[in-house]
Amino acid sequence: MADLSQEEWTKQLEADNNSIVLDVRTPEEVAQGVIPNAIHIDIFKGQGFIDEVEKLDKTKNYYVYCRSGGRSGQACSVMNQLGFENAYNLMGGFDAWQGEVAEL
């Protein structure tokens, strides 16, 4: 897992053609908007989160975010334990996001 600033996260994501953006916030938070092309898996689902993450392609690079960077850091750690080699945490999360916002 790597903690990346928004600038590093965005730059790396733009150059990565093997990437998936993962939003681990609650449905209520997601209703406020998402980073474009994000898939949503709520980390508060507990075992349900692990079950859904296990279905993802472990060969992809995951760019993970939450509201402020804490839960996404936890999600990256869980993903690493499950065998995902490349999980990148967005420091500051969606609250600090300066880029484009979409609706899910």
Residues known to be catalytic: 66
Please say whether the beta carbons of 89 and 3 come within 8 A.
yes
Work out the end-to-end distance of the chain between its first and last CA atoms, rounded to an integer number of angstroms.
26
Look-up of token digits 């996001």: 97
Element (H, E) at 62: strand 61-65
φ and ψ of 44, to 5 deg: -75, 0
Taking the CA atoms of 11, 33, 70 and 39 in sequence, report the sign of the dihedral they define: negative
